[in-house]
Amino acid sequence: MDHFQLRDGVLHAEDVPLPLIAEQVGTPVYVYSRATLERHARVFRDALSGVENPHIAFAVKSNPNLAVLRVLANMGYGADVVSGGELTRALKAGMKPEDIVFSGVGKTHAELLQGLEEGIGQFNIESEEEGYELAAIAARHGKRAACALRVNPDVDARTHEKISTGKRENKFGVPLDRAADIYARLAQEDGLDMRGVAVHIGSQLADLEPLETAFGKVGALIAELRGQGCTVTHADLGGGLGVPYKAGEELPSPAEYGEMVARVTKGWSVQLMFEPGRVIAGNAGILLSRVIRSKRSGNGPPFVVVDAAMNDLARPAMYGAWHDFDAVVPTGDRMTAHIVGPICETGDTFAMDRECDALVAGDLAVFRTAGAYGATMASSYNSRGFVAEVLVDGDKFAVVADRIAASAIMDAERVPEWLA
Ligand code: LLP
Protein backbone atom coordinates (compact mmCIF):
# COMPACT_ATOMS: atom_id res chain seq x y z
CA MET A 1 0.00 0.00 0.00
CA ASP A 2 1.28 3.46 -0.83
CA HIS A 3 0.19 7.04 -0.32
CA PHE A 4 -0.16 8.07 -3.98
CA GLN A 5 -3.92 8.13 -4.33
CA LEU A 6 -6.62 10.04 -6.19
CA ARG A 7 -8.51 12.61 -4.14
CA ASP A 8 -11.31 14.55 -5.75
CA GLY A 9 -10.05 13.40 -9.10
CA VAL A 10 -6.46 14.58 -8.58
CA LEU A 11 -3.53 12.31 -7.80
CA HIS A 12 -1.94 13.24 -4.49
CA ALA A 13 1.25 12.30 -2.71
CA GLU A 14 -0.08 11.99 0.83
CA ASP A 15 -1.99 15.30 1.25
CA VAL A 16 -0.17 17.17 -1.49
CA PRO A 17 -1.73 17.44 -4.97
CA LEU A 18 0.88 16.53 -7.55
CA PRO A 19 0.06 19.53 -9.81
CA LEU A 20 1.29 21.75 -6.97
CA ILE A 21 4.68 20.03 -6.98
CA ALA A 22 4.86 20.21 -10.77
CA GLU A 23 4.11 23.91 -10.66
CA GLN A 24 6.62 24.73 -7.95
CA VAL A 25 9.46 22.35 -8.78
CA GLY A 26 8.89 21.65 -12.46
CA THR A 27 8.93 18.30 -14.23
CA PRO A 28 10.23 15.69 -14.48
CA VAL A 29 10.56 15.22 -10.74
CA TYR A 30 10.77 12.26 -8.41
CA VAL A 31 8.32 12.43 -5.52
CA TYR A 32 8.75 10.27 -2.42
CA SER A 33 6.28 9.72 0.38
CA ARG A 34 7.63 9.66 3.91
CA ALA A 35 4.55 7.85 5.23
CA THR A 36 4.99 5.11 2.64
CA LEU A 37 8.69 4.71 3.39
CA GLU A 38 7.94 4.44 7.08
CA ARG A 39 5.09 2.06 6.52
CA HIS A 40 7.24 -0.27 4.41
CA ALA A 41 10.08 -0.10 6.93
CA ARG A 42 7.65 -1.03 9.71
CA VAL A 43 5.99 -3.81 7.73
CA PHE A 44 9.35 -5.36 6.88
CA ARG A 45 10.52 -5.16 10.47
CA ASP A 46 7.24 -6.59 11.79
CA ALA A 47 7.50 -9.43 9.28
CA LEU A 48 10.70 -10.48 11.03
CA SER A 49 9.05 -10.74 14.44
CA GLY A 50 9.75 -14.49 14.39
CA VAL A 51 13.49 -13.76 14.25
CA GLU A 52 15.48 -12.73 17.29
CA ASN A 53 17.11 -9.32 17.08
CA PRO A 54 17.33 -8.96 13.28
CA HIS A 55 19.68 -6.34 11.88
CA ILE A 56 18.12 -4.47 8.98
CA ALA A 57 20.39 -2.53 6.64
CA PHE A 58 18.64 -0.56 3.90
CA ALA A 59 20.28 -1.14 0.52
CA VAL A 60 21.43 2.42 -0.15
CA LYS A 61 21.88 1.72 -3.85
CA SER A 62 18.12 1.52 -4.27
CA ASN A 63 17.60 5.10 -3.11
CA PRO A 64 20.58 7.02 -1.76
CA ASN A 65 18.84 10.36 -1.28
CA LEU A 66 19.96 11.80 2.07
CA ALA A 67 16.43 12.64 3.19
CA VAL A 68 15.21 9.14 2.35
CA LEU A 69 18.14 7.67 4.28
CA ARG A 70 17.36 9.94 7.22
CA VAL A 71 13.76 8.68 7.31
CA LEU A 72 15.08 5.14 7.53
CA ALA A 73 17.82 6.01 10.02
CA ASN A 74 15.08 7.46 12.23
CA MET A 75 13.29 4.11 11.94
CA GLY A 76 16.39 2.42 13.34
CA TYR A 77 17.57 1.05 10.01
CA GLY A 78 21.23 0.56 9.23
CA ALA A 79 22.69 0.69 5.74
CA ASP A 80 24.05 -1.72 3.17
CA VAL A 81 26.57 0.24 1.12
CA VAL A 82 28.60 -0.71 -1.92
CA SER A 83 30.94 2.23 -2.39
CA GLY A 84 32.79 4.89 -0.46
CA GLY A 85 30.22 7.37 -1.71
CA GLU A 86 27.34 5.36 -0.30
CA LEU A 87 29.20 4.95 2.99
CA THR A 88 29.67 8.70 3.23
CA ARG A 89 25.98 9.23 2.51
CA ALA A 90 24.80 6.70 5.09
CA LEU A 91 26.93 8.35 7.77
CA LYS A 92 25.82 11.82 6.73
CA ALA A 93 22.20 10.71 6.90
CA GLY A 94 22.70 9.61 10.49
CA MET A 95 23.14 5.89 10.19
CA LYS A 96 25.42 4.57 12.91
CA PRO A 97 28.77 3.21 11.69
CA GLU A 98 28.22 -0.06 13.55
CA ASP A 99 24.93 -0.51 11.68
CA ILE A 100 26.61 -0.27 8.28
CA VAL A 101 27.48 -3.28 6.15
CA PHE A 102 29.86 -2.84 3.20
CA SER A 103 29.12 -5.16 0.25
CA GLY A 104 30.48 -5.22 -3.29
CA VAL A 105 32.92 -7.22 -5.41
CA GLY A 106 35.28 -4.38 -6.16
CA LYS A 107 35.96 -2.46 -2.98
CA THR A 108 39.13 -0.50 -3.57
CA HIS A 109 42.01 -0.15 -1.12
CA ALA A 110 40.78 3.37 -0.32
CA GLU A 111 37.24 2.13 0.30
CA LEU A 112 38.36 -0.69 2.57
CA LEU A 113 40.42 1.80 4.53
CA GLN A 114 37.51 4.24 4.69
CA GLY A 115 35.27 1.49 6.11
CA LEU A 116 37.88 0.61 8.72
CA GLU A 117 38.48 4.19 9.73
CA GLU A 118 34.75 4.85 10.07
CA GLY A 119 34.42 1.73 12.20
CA ILE A 120 31.64 0.13 10.17
CA GLY A 121 29.85 -2.92 11.53
CA GLN A 122 30.70 -5.49 8.89
CA PHE A 123 32.49 -6.02 5.61
CA ASN A 124 30.92 -8.58 3.32
CA ILE A 125 34.03 -10.06 1.74
CA GLU A 126 33.44 -11.27 -1.80
CA SER A 127 36.70 -13.11 -2.48
CA GLU A 128 39.67 -14.60 -0.70
CA GLU A 129 41.84 -11.96 -2.36
CA GLU A 130 39.73 -9.15 -0.90
CA GLY A 131 39.97 -10.81 2.52
CA TYR A 132 43.77 -10.77 2.48
CA GLU A 133 43.87 -7.19 1.27
CA LEU A 134 41.52 -6.07 4.04
CA ALA A 135 43.48 -8.09 6.61
CA ALA A 136 46.71 -6.37 5.59
CA ILE A 137 45.19 -2.89 5.74
CA ALA A 138 43.60 -3.62 9.11
CA ALA A 139 46.81 -5.01 10.57
CA ARG A 140 48.76 -1.98 9.34
CA HIS A 141 46.32 0.33 11.08
CA GLY A 142 46.07 -1.75 14.24
CA LYS A 143 42.45 -2.62 13.58
CA ARG A 144 40.33 -5.72 13.24
CA ALA A 145 37.61 -5.87 10.61
CA ALA A 146 34.40 -7.71 11.38
CA CYS A 147 33.63 -9.76 8.28
CA ALA A 148 31.13 -12.06 6.68
CA LEU A 149 32.09 -14.17 3.69
CA ARG A 150 29.65 -13.77 0.81
CA VAL A 151 28.93 -17.07 -0.79
CA ASN A 152 27.59 -17.77 -4.23
CA PRO A 153 25.06 -20.57 -3.71
CA ASP A 154 24.53 -21.28 -7.42
CA VAL A 155 20.78 -20.75 -7.24
CA ASP A 156 18.72 -19.31 -10.06
CA ALA A 157 16.69 -16.45 -8.59
CA ARG A 158 14.32 -16.56 -11.60
CA THR A 159 14.45 -12.84 -12.08
CA HIS A 160 15.83 -10.67 -14.89
CA GLU A 161 19.29 -11.97 -15.83
CA LYS A 162 20.90 -8.57 -15.29
CA ILE A 163 19.83 -8.49 -11.64
CA SER A 164 20.47 -12.13 -10.87
CA THR A 165 23.52 -12.50 -8.65
CA GLY A 166 23.56 -15.99 -7.15
CA LYS A 167 24.41 -18.23 -10.07
CA ARG A 168 27.81 -19.83 -10.36
CA GLU A 169 28.62 -17.81 -13.47
CA ASN A 170 27.85 -14.47 -11.73
CA LYS A 171 30.72 -12.40 -10.36
CA PHE A 172 29.46 -12.32 -6.78
CA GLY A 173 30.77 -14.13 -3.72
CA VAL A 174 32.89 -17.26 -3.44
CA PRO A 175 31.67 -20.63 -4.71
CA LEU A 176 29.84 -22.53 -2.02
CA ASP A 177 32.02 -25.61 -2.35
CA ARG A 178 35.15 -23.57 -1.58
CA ALA A 179 33.61 -21.33 1.05
CA ALA A 180 34.46 -23.42 4.14
CA ASP A 181 38.16 -23.59 3.23
CA ILE A 182 38.37 -19.90 2.38
CA TYR A 183 36.56 -18.96 5.59
CA ALA A 184 38.93 -21.08 7.68
CA ARG A 185 41.99 -19.54 6.02
CA LEU A 186 40.72 -15.97 6.42
CA ALA A 187 39.86 -16.69 10.07
CA GLN A 188 43.60 -17.16 10.67
CA GLU A 189 44.27 -13.52 9.74
CA ASP A 190 44.87 -11.22 12.72
CA GLY A 191 43.26 -8.28 10.95
CA LEU A 192 39.97 -10.10 10.38
CA ASP A 193 37.21 -11.12 12.72
CA MET A 194 35.46 -13.69 10.53
CA ARG A 195 32.03 -13.77 12.11
CA GLY A 196 29.55 -14.84 9.50
CA VAL A 197 28.33 -15.65 6.05
CA ALA A 198 26.36 -13.55 3.58
CA VAL A 199 24.22 -14.33 0.57
CA HIS A 200 22.22 -12.29 -1.94
CA ILE A 201 20.92 -14.06 -5.01
CA GLY A 202 19.22 -11.27 -6.90
CA SER A 203 16.62 -8.55 -6.94
CA GLN A 204 12.89 -8.30 -7.72
CA LEU A 205 12.32 -11.92 -6.73
CA ALA A 206 8.74 -12.96 -7.41
CA ASP A 207 9.09 -16.31 -5.76
CA LEU A 208 10.38 -17.31 -2.32
CA GLU A 209 11.57 -20.74 -3.34
CA PRO A 210 15.01 -19.74 -4.71
CA LEU A 211 15.60 -17.74 -1.53
CA GLU A 212 14.63 -20.71 0.60
CA THR A 213 16.98 -22.95 -1.37
CA ALA A 214 19.84 -20.46 -0.99
CA PHE A 215 19.22 -20.00 2.74
CA GLY A 216 19.13 -23.79 3.18
CA LYS A 217 22.59 -23.97 1.62
CA VAL A 218 23.82 -21.21 3.93
CA GLY A 219 22.49 -23.15 6.92
CA ALA A 220 24.39 -26.23 5.84
CA LEU A 221 27.54 -24.15 5.40
CA ILE A 222 27.20 -22.70 8.91
CA ALA A 223 26.99 -26.25 10.30
CA GLU A 224 30.03 -27.28 8.26
CA LEU A 225 32.02 -24.26 9.42
CA ARG A 226 31.21 -24.92 13.06
CA GLY A 227 32.04 -28.57 12.52
CA GLN A 228 35.53 -27.56 11.48
CA GLY A 229 35.94 -25.30 14.49
CA CYS A 230 35.10 -21.91 12.97
CA THR A 231 33.02 -19.34 14.82
CA VAL A 232 29.84 -18.13 13.11
CA THR A 233 27.70 -15.57 14.89
CA HIS A 234 26.09 -13.72 11.97
CA ALA A 235 24.27 -14.57 8.75
CA ASP A 236 23.38 -11.86 6.25
CA LEU A 237 20.50 -12.94 4.02
CA GLY A 238 20.72 -9.96 1.64
CA GLY A 239 17.74 -8.31 -0.02
CA GLY A 240 15.80 -9.24 -3.09
CA LEU A 241 12.13 -9.34 -2.18
CA GLY A 242 10.15 -8.15 -5.20
CA VAL A 243 7.39 -5.55 -5.29
CA PRO A 244 4.29 -5.26 -7.48
CA TYR A 245 4.91 -3.02 -10.50
CA LYS A 246 1.47 -3.62 -12.00
CA ALA A 247 -1.74 -2.78 -10.16
CA GLY A 248 -3.18 -6.00 -8.84
CA GLU A 249 0.00 -8.02 -9.24
CA GLU A 250 0.51 -10.50 -6.39
CA LEU A 251 3.96 -11.08 -4.95
CA PRO A 252 5.11 -12.82 -1.81
CA SER A 253 4.48 -10.45 1.09
CA PRO A 254 7.09 -9.44 3.64
CA ALA A 255 5.10 -11.52 6.15
CA GLU A 256 5.42 -14.64 4.00
CA TYR A 257 9.10 -13.91 3.53
CA GLY A 258 9.54 -13.46 7.29
CA GLU A 259 7.76 -16.73 8.05
CA MET A 260 9.95 -18.59 5.57
CA VAL A 261 13.10 -17.03 7.04
CA ALA A 262 12.08 -17.90 10.60
CA ARG A 263 11.36 -21.49 9.58
CA VAL A 264 14.52 -22.06 7.54
CA THR A 265 16.90 -20.41 10.00
CA LYS A 266 15.51 -22.02 13.13
CA GLY A 267 18.34 -23.26 15.30
CA TRP A 268 21.08 -21.36 13.45
CA SER A 269 22.01 -19.43 16.62
CA VAL A 270 23.22 -16.38 14.75
CA GLN A 271 22.15 -12.77 14.45
CA LEU A 272 20.34 -12.54 11.12
CA MET A 273 20.98 -9.54 8.92
CA PHE A 274 18.91 -8.24 6.00
CA GLU A 275 19.57 -5.81 3.16
CA PRO A 276 16.19 -4.81 1.72
CA GLY A 277 16.11 -2.04 -0.87
CA ARG A 278 13.25 -2.17 -3.34
CA VAL A 279 10.66 -3.51 -0.91
CA ILE A 280 11.18 -0.41 1.23
CA ALA A 281 11.61 2.31 -1.39
CA GLY A 282 10.04 1.02 -4.62
CA ASN A 283 6.43 1.94 -4.09
CA ALA A 284 7.34 4.95 -1.96
CA GLY A 285 8.21 7.00 -5.04
CA ILE A 286 6.82 8.09 -8.38
CA LEU A 287 8.31 9.96 -11.32
CA LEU A 288 6.07 12.88 -12.20
CA SER A 289 6.28 14.07 -15.76
CA ARG A 290 4.44 16.18 -18.28
CA VAL A 291 3.30 15.22 -21.75
CA ILE A 292 5.19 17.31 -24.29
CA ARG A 293 3.08 16.21 -27.21
CA SER A 294 1.35 13.32 -28.81
CA LYS A 295 2.35 12.32 -32.34
CA ARG A 296 1.55 9.66 -34.84
CA SER A 297 3.91 7.80 -37.08
CA GLY A 298 2.63 4.93 -39.10
CA ASN A 299 -0.76 3.44 -38.53
CA GLY A 300 -0.29 2.30 -34.94
CA PRO A 301 -1.20 3.98 -31.69
CA PRO A 302 0.04 7.51 -31.03
CA PHE A 303 3.40 8.17 -29.42
CA VAL A 304 2.88 10.09 -26.20
CA VAL A 305 6.16 11.96 -25.71
CA VAL A 306 6.72 12.84 -22.06
CA ASP A 307 9.41 15.10 -20.62
CA ALA A 308 10.98 12.25 -18.63
CA ALA A 309 13.33 9.96 -20.49
CA MET A 310 15.51 6.89 -20.17
CA ASN A 311 18.21 9.02 -18.56
CA ASP A 312 15.81 9.84 -15.71
CA LEU A 313 14.29 6.37 -15.29
CA ALA A 314 16.48 3.74 -16.89
CA ARG A 315 14.63 0.59 -15.86
CA PRO A 316 12.32 0.19 -18.87
CA ALA A 317 15.17 0.71 -21.34
CA MET A 318 17.59 -1.42 -19.36
CA TYR A 319 15.48 -4.33 -18.23
CA GLY A 320 12.30 -3.96 -20.24
CA ALA A 321 10.73 -3.13 -16.88
CA TRP A 322 7.07 -2.23 -16.53
CA HIS A 323 6.03 0.89 -14.61
CA ASP A 324 2.35 1.69 -14.29
CA PHE A 325 1.64 4.99 -16.01
CA ASP A 326 -1.31 7.07 -14.83
CA ALA A 327 -2.69 10.52 -15.47
CA VAL A 328 -2.56 12.93 -12.53
CA VAL A 329 -6.03 14.22 -13.39
CA PRO A 330 -7.71 11.30 -15.17
CA THR A 331 -10.77 12.14 -17.24
CA GLY A 332 -12.08 8.61 -17.25
CA ASP A 333 -11.27 8.24 -20.95
CA ARG A 334 -8.71 5.62 -21.91
CA MET A 335 -6.34 5.27 -24.83
CA THR A 336 -3.73 2.90 -26.19
CA ALA A 337 -0.38 4.58 -26.74
CA HIS A 338 3.33 4.16 -26.97
CA ILE A 339 4.88 6.09 -24.07
CA VAL A 340 8.28 7.51 -24.98
CA GLY A 341 10.81 10.09 -23.85
CA PRO A 342 12.51 12.75 -25.98
CA ILE A 343 15.91 11.03 -26.19
CA CYS A 344 17.24 10.20 -29.60
CA GLU A 345 17.17 6.45 -29.52
CA THR A 346 14.39 3.95 -29.86
CA GLY A 347 15.37 2.44 -26.52
CA ASP A 348 13.94 5.56 -24.89
CA THR A 349 10.58 3.84 -24.65
CA PHE A 350 8.69 3.41 -21.41
CA ALA A 351 5.91 1.30 -22.84
CA MET A 352 4.54 0.11 -26.16
CA ASP A 353 0.85 -0.41 -26.84
CA ARG A 354 0.03 0.58 -23.30
CA GLU A 355 -3.59 0.93 -22.34
CA CYS A 356 -3.64 4.00 -20.14
CA ASP A 357 -5.51 7.16 -19.20
CA ALA A 358 -6.17 9.42 -22.15
CA LEU A 359 -3.56 12.18 -22.23
CA VAL A 360 -2.93 15.26 -24.33
CA ALA A 361 -0.05 17.73 -24.51
CA GLY A 362 0.44 19.55 -21.22
CA ASP A 363 -1.12 16.84 -19.05
CA LEU A 364 0.72 15.50 -16.04
CA ALA A 365 1.30 11.78 -15.60
CA VAL A 366 3.25 9.53 -13.27
CA PHE A 367 5.38 6.46 -13.57
CA ARG A 368 4.69 4.49 -10.43
CA THR A 369 7.01 2.37 -8.34
CA ALA A 370 9.94 4.61 -9.15
CA GLY A 371 11.24 5.07 -5.62
CA ALA A 372 13.87 2.35 -5.97
CA TYR A 373 16.51 2.29 -8.72
CA GLY A 374 14.99 5.45 -10.19
CA ALA A 375 16.78 8.75 -9.61
CA THR A 376 19.91 6.92 -8.54
CA MET A 377 20.36 5.36 -11.97
CA ALA A 378 19.95 8.65 -13.82
CA SER A 379 22.50 9.94 -16.31
CA SER A 380 22.86 13.17 -18.22
CA TYR A 381 22.60 11.52 -21.64
CA ASN A 382 21.57 13.89 -24.43
CA SER A 383 22.84 16.72 -22.19
CA ARG A 384 19.78 16.50 -20.06
CA GLY A 385 20.24 17.52 -16.44
CA PHE A 386 19.55 15.47 -13.33
CA VAL A 387 15.97 15.39 -12.14
CA ALA A 388 14.92 17.03 -8.88
CA GLU A 389 13.64 14.93 -5.98
CA VAL A 390 10.92 15.88 -3.54
CA LEU A 391 9.92 14.34 -0.22
CA VAL A 392 6.32 14.70 0.91
CA ASP A 393 5.27 14.50 4.54
CA GLY A 394 1.55 14.94 5.10
CA ASP A 395 0.60 18.31 3.64
CA LYS A 396 4.13 19.61 3.33
CA PHE A 397 6.90 18.85 0.90
CA ALA A 398 10.52 19.77 0.37
CA VAL A 399 12.95 19.58 -2.52
CA VAL A 400 15.45 17.01 -1.25
CA ALA A 401 17.63 17.06 -4.35
CA ASP A 402 17.94 20.08 -6.60
CA ARG A 403 17.52 19.73 -10.29
CA ILE A 404 21.02 19.84 -11.76
CA ALA A 405 20.95 21.74 -15.01
CA ALA A 406 22.87 20.58 -18.05
CA SER A 407 24.82 23.83 -17.78
CA ALA A 408 26.02 22.90 -14.26
CA ILE A 409 27.33 19.61 -15.58
CA MET A 410 29.03 21.49 -18.40
CA ASP A 411 30.70 23.73 -15.82
CA ALA A 412 32.89 20.75 -14.86
CA GLU A 413 34.17 20.44 -18.44
CA ARG A 414 37.06 22.30 -19.99
CA VAL A 415 38.50 22.83 -23.44
CA PRO A 416 42.30 22.78 -23.01
CA GLU A 417 44.24 25.79 -24.12
CA TRP A 418 46.14 23.75 -26.69
CA LEU A 419 42.90 23.27 -28.60
CA ALA A 420 42.29 26.97 -28.81
N1 LLP B 1 22.22 -6.50 -1.13
C2 LLP B 1 23.03 -6.63 -2.18
C3 LLP B 1 24.37 -7.20 -1.97
C4 LLP B 1 22.61 -6.22 -3.45
O5 LLP B 1 23.42 -6.36 -4.49
C6 LLP B 1 21.32 -5.66 -3.62
C7 LLP B 1 20.86 -5.21 -4.92
C8 LLP B 1 20.51 -5.54 -2.48
C9 LLP B 1 20.98 -5.97 -1.25
C10 LLP B 1 19.14 -4.94 -2.53
O11 LLP B 1 18.29 -5.71 -3.28
P12 LLP B 1 16.73 -5.38 -3.33
O13 LLP B 1 16.17 -5.66 -1.96
O14 LLP B 1 16.58 -3.96 -3.69
O15 LLP B 1 16.21 -6.28 -4.35
N16 LLP B 1 18.97 -1.73 -10.82
C17 LLP B 1 18.18 -2.94 -10.69
C18 LLP B 1 18.34 -3.61 -9.35
C19 LLP B 1 19.76 -3.98 -8.99
C20 LLP B 1 19.91 -4.61 -7.65
C21 LLP B 1 21.33 -4.77 -7.28
N22 LLP B 1 21.56 -5.30 -6.00
C23 LLP B 1 16.72 -2.61 -10.99
O24 LLP B 1 16.41 -1.47 -11.28
O25 LLP B 1 15.88 -3.50 -10.97
Whether 417 is covered by a domain: the verdict is no
**Tens of pLDDT along 233-270?**
999 999 999 999 999 999 999 999 999 999 999 999 99
Helix (H, G, I), strand (E, B) or coil at 364: strand
Does 261 share its domain with 120? yes
Which amino acids are annotated as binding site, given as ranges?
240, 275-278, 315, 319, 345, 373
CATH number at residue 86: 3.20.20.10
Q: Is the separation of the CB atoms in 305 and 231 below 8 Å?
A: no
Q: What is the pLDDT of residue 170?
A: 86
Does 210 share its domain with 304? no
Does 325 share its domain with 377? yes
Mind spelling out the 3-state secondary structure of the chain? CCCEEEECCEEEECCEEHHHHHHHHCCCEEEEEHHHHHHHHHHHHHHCCCCCCCEEEEEHHHCCCHHHHHHHHHCCCEEEECCHHHHHHHHHCCCCHHHEEECCCCCCHHHHHHHHHHCCCEEEECCHHHHHHHHHHHHHCCCCEEEEEEEECCCCCCCCHHHECCCCCCCCCEEHHHHHHHHHHHHCCCCEEEEEEECCCECCECCCHHHHHHHHHHHHHHHHHHHCCCCCCEEECCCCECCCCCCCCCCCCHHHHHHHHHHHCCCCCCEEEECCCHHHHHHHEEEEEEEEEEECCCCCCCEEEECCCCCCCCHHHHHCCCCCEEECCCCCCEEEEEEECCCCCCCCEEEEEEEEECCCCCCEEEECCCCCCCHHHCCCHHHCCECEEEEEECCEEEEEECCECHHHHHCCCCCCHHHC
Distance of CA 236 to the CA centre of its chain: 17
Whether 362 is covered by a domain: the verdict is yes
Q: List pocket residues of ligand 1, CB cut-off 6 Å.
A: 59, 61-62, 80, 103, 163, 165, 200, 203-204, 238-241, 275-279, 315, 319, 372-373
Q: Which of 147, 230, 344, 356 is catalytic?
A: 344
Q: Which atom of ligand 1 is nearest to the CA of 277?
A: 14
Which amino acids are annotated as binding site for substrate, given as ranges?
278, 315, 319, 345, 373
pLDDT of residue 157 exceeding 90: no
Question: How do beta strands 29-33 and 285-295 pair?
Answer: antiparallel
Q: What is the pLDDT of residue 191?
A: 98
Does 375 share its domain with 391? yes
d(CA 140, CA 326): 56
Catalytic, 356? Answer: no
Does 152 share its domain with 247? yes
- Residue 271: exposure state from Cβ atoms within 10 A (0-12, 13-18, ≥19): middle
**Tens of pLDDT along 36-92?**
999 999 999 999 999 999 999 999 999 999 999 999 999 999 999 999 999 999 999
Whether 245 is covered by a domain: the verdict is yes
pLDDT of residue 4 exceeding 90: yes
Query: Best substitution site from 81, 83, 203 to test ligand 1's pocket, by max atoms within 8 Å of Cβ?
Result: 203
Whether 415 is covered by a domain: the verdict is no
d(CA 217, CA 222): 9
Q: Which atom of ligand 1 is nearest to the CA of 278?
A: 14
pLDDT of residue 221 exceeding 90: yes
Does 84 share its domain with 13? no
Does 42 share its domain with 80? yes
Ligand 1, atom 19: closest residue by C-alpha: 163
Q: Is the separation of the CB atoms in 176 and 152 below 8 Å?
A: yes
Range of the domain at 314: 4-31+282-410
User: What share of the chain in percent tops pLDDT 90?
Assistant: 94
Whether 416 is covered by a domain: the verdict is no
Does 267 share its domain with 302? no
Whether 72 is covered by a domain: the verdict is yes
Whether 148 is covered by a domain: the verdict is yes
Rounded mean pLDDT of the chain?
Answer: 97
Whether 200 is covered by a domain: the verdict is yes
**Tens of pLDDT along 284-322?**
999 999 999 999 988 899 999 999 999 999 999 999 999
Does 164 share its domain with 137? yes
Domain boundary among 245, 279, 313: 279
> Taking the complete model, does pTM exceed 0.85, yes or no?
yes
d(CA 92, CA 105): 24
Q: What is the pLDDT of residue 153?
A: 93
CATH number at residue 345: 2.40.37.10
Domain boundary among 218, 244, 279: 279
d(CA 348, CA 317): 6
Helices (H) and strands (E) in the chain, counts: 12, 21
Does 294 share its domain with 219? no
Query: CA neighbours within 13 Å on the CB side: how many for 288?
Result: 30
Residue 237 backbone phi and psi in degrees, to 5: -95, 10
Does 237 share its domain with 386? no
Domain boundary among 249, 279, 309: 279
Domain count across the chain: 2
Does 246 share its domain with 373? no
